[in-house]
Amino acid sequence: MDPFELKLKNALTRNEPIAPAELAALNDNIVKSFARKQRGFHRLLAVYLAVMCLLIFALMALFMATSDLKMCLLFAVVIVILFEGTALMKLWFWVMHSKIATLREIKLLQLAVAELKTQASTGAQTTAPALPDDADESAAASTPTEPSKGRLRRAFLIVAWLLAVPALVYFGWRQTPCPPQDVTTYLERANSAADAAQWQQSFTVTQARQHFYPQLLTGGKPARAWISVAAENHEPMYTGPVDTESIIGFGQAAPGRYVVKGRTEQAGGNFTLRIGGVDEVPGTPSPGQSFLRLFFLMLSAAATVVIPLVWLQNRWIRHIDPEPQRW
Amino acid sequence: MDRSDSIQDDLLVLQCQQGDAGCFDRLVRRWQQPLLNYAYRVTGDWAVAQDIVQETWLAVIRGLITLKDVAYFRTWLYRIASHKCQDHWRRKQTRQGFAEELQKQPLATGAPPNAERADIDASFRRLPPDSRTVLALMYLEDFSIGEIAGLLSLPEGTVKSRLFHARQQLRQLLEKDYGPV
């Protein structure tokens, strides 16, 4: 450097320091912006995960509720894509933090080596260099308020979880009209899937009930039969379909002889048509009720299984990597 | 800045990338004053310098996670600040001609506590922004020619010639206003 350059350097490096209060205000604004952005980012991730999970549950409920094969395939594909979306997001987050944690370890080692070098060159007594951030963390961890805060939070979450699971089960259960329990059976007829021809059978009612109550017992497979029930030498009192899950009632089950004509419309295997008598019929669940019932039941299943699993997973991660990190 | 300081800076940046607001506070405190000095040298106005520094930090907040090698944080920070200064000059040029701006720059003012320093300050403020930028990066922030070239996205030859011309211009201005340097 020539004398002019030295003069220039001296002139430029000597600046009047800005007023501390002004500087502090400027710093605070910037740090607040950073904290705001971090909070926004974490909220965005939480909302993204929540939306993805809700969509997955909703689609699973639709998947279970629909009987159309093409729609089932569509729902399954979308569920897989959404599931991959959540898994990839979590994987990206984990990889990013692992990378930063590894780099941090390397930098801490470099710092230790640099400090030892400095001490060796100055001839000072060799001691382990202080690693600034670790000291802060251990100090923060040893403060007495932290564990009690954690315990309170954990207790609150456990209570919330214990309340959430039965609440979800209850809401799911409420969507289902309970099928009648006290049924007097008048007729049971076994049908095979190949039994497409129309059939006819008569039965006698000895114990009077308020309504007839037809059921298809299929062992879970969807089936549909078309029946027509009439008192002997009378007009039919019901002509229409009976589905696997339908809860319908018709007419009055008065004592006497009755004739039922039937035709199988759809069957995945053998099934039994039962015609019984009940005093009260709550009605067939609507598609919306079926969907909501499955949705709430799946949410309750998730709350029962997934939340404890995630909690255990996080505990395990903390166990294998004790560095305090924001997973 | 020795090796330990540089590594501690890197550690701070890594902590910030993990979202630690406390470390970001420390990082801001560490770099605020040098950045302000640099922005003031380039713009010649403390209020504008403060705005530029604030905009620089906001850009840092937005892009910190994309910084791949934390060792380049300092260069990256000054690169952003330089771009913000250029933006400021561009905005200003659209409002009023640069020549007019030069006219408005004050000459040596009052009786300064250190006459030589005040002379250089006044003449420095009359230099074009590009010259101020390279001189500030070289003599205020101690960047090497290669670093300045990377920071301003210019070839090293261009940086060298800009430095040479900036020194020449400054010397001429000083000689014109205050006599032989």
Q: What is the pLDDT of residues B6-65, one digit of tens each?
A: 888 899 999 898 888 889 999 999 899 889 889 988 888 888 889 999 999 999 999 998
Residue given tokens 């669940």 in the structure block: A285
Token digits of residue A64 = 């279970």
pLDDT at residue B115 tops 60: no
- Which residue among B7, B18, B40 sits closest to A326, beta carbon to beta carbon? B18
State the nearest Cα–Cα gap between A88 and chain B, in angstroms: 18
First to last CA, chain A: 51
Q: Domain containing B145 — which CATH number?
A: 1.10.10.10
- Asked if B3 and B70 sit in the same domain, the reply is yes
Strand, helix or coil at A200?
Answer: strand
By the 8 A CB rule, do A52 and B81 touch? no
Residue B25: what pLDDT? 92
Residue A168: what pLDDT? 78
- Asked if B75 and B125 sit in the same domain, the reply is no
- Burial (CB count within 10 angstroms: exposed 0-12, middle 13-18, buried 19+), residue A196: exposed
- Asked if B149 and B179 sit in the same domain, the reply is yes
Q: Domain containing B13 — which CATH number?
A: 1.10.1740.10
Count of the separate structural domains present in chain B: 2
Residue A326: what pLDDT? 45
Contacts with A23 from chain B: Cβ below 8 Å: 32-33, 36
Contact A11 B11 (CB under 8 A): no
Residue B132: what pLDDT? 87
- Asked if B131 and B172 sit in the same domain, the reply is yes
Contacts with A7 from chain B: Cβ below 8 Å: 116, 120, 181
- The dihedrals phi and psi of B105, each to the nearest 5 degrees, come to -65, 135
Helix B145-152 vs helix B156-178: crossing angle, to nearest 10? 100
Interface residues from chain A to B (CB-CB < 8 Å): 4-5, 7-15, 17-18, 22-23, 26-27, 29-31, 33-35, 37-38, 41-42, 96-97, 100-101, 103-104, 107-108, 110-111, 114-115, 117-118, 132-133, 325-326
CA A324 from chain centre, in angstroms, equals 27
CB atoms within 10 A of CB A280: 11
pLDDT tens, residue by residue, A244-272: 878 888 888 899 999 999 888 877 778 88
- Asked if B14 and B61 sit in the same domain, the reply is yes
pLDDT tens, residue by residue, A169-178: 777 777 666 7
By the 8 A CB rule, do A131 and A108 touch? yes
Split at pLDDT 50, 70, 90, the class of B136 is confident
Residue A19: what pLDDT? 77
- Which residue among A8, A100, A110 sits closest to B18, beta carbon to beta carbon? A100
Q: Of all residues in chain B, what percent carry a pLDDT higher than 70?
A: 85
Mark which of B97, B121, B148 sits at the end of a domain: B97
Mark which of B39, B67, B97 sits at the end of a domain: B97
- Which residue among B4, B117, B171 sits closest to A11, beta carbon to beta carbon? B117
Contact B14 A33 (CB under 8 A): no
- Asked if B38 and B82 sit in the same domain, the reply is yes
- Asked if B78 and B152 sit in the same domain, the reply is no
Q: Of all residues in chain A, what percent carry a pLDDT higher than 90?
A: 16
- Which residue among A11, A30, A118 sits closest to B120, beta carbon to beta carbon? A11
Structural domain containing residue B133: 105-181
- Asked if B90 and B141 sit in the same domain, the reply is no
- Asked if B82 and B22 sit in the same domain, the reply is yes
State the nearest Cα–Cα gap between A38 and chain B, in angstroms: 6
- Which residue among A18, A97, A110 sits closest to B7, beta carbon to beta carbon? A110
Split at pLDDT 50, 70, 90, the class of A77 is very high
Contacts with B18 from chain A: Cβ below 8 Å: 97, 100-101, 325-326
Averaged pLDDT for residues A101-128:
80
Residue A60: what pLDDT? 86
- Asked if B1 and B81 sit in the same domain, the reply is yes
- Which residue among A26, A97, A133 sits closest to B32, beta carbon to beta carbon? A26
- Asked if B80 and B124 sit in the same domain, the reply is no
Contacts with B40 from chain A: Cβ below 8 Å: 15
List the single range of A117-121, A265-269, A278-282, B131-135 with lowest mean pLDDT. Answer: A265-269
* Nearest residue in B to A6, CA atom: B139
By the 8 A CB rule, do B150 and B75 touch? yes
Give the integer Cα–Cα distance in Å for A210 and A249. 9
Contact A26 B54 (CB under 8 A): yes
Mark which of B97, B120, B154 sits at the end of a domain: B97
Residue A156: what pLDDT? 87
pLDDT tens, residue by residue, A296-322: 777 777 777 777 877 787 777 777 665
- Asked if B76 and B112 sit in the same domain, the reply is no
State the nearest Cα–Cα gap between A62 and chain B, in angstroms: 39
Task: Supply the ipTM of this predicted assembly.
Answer: 0.76
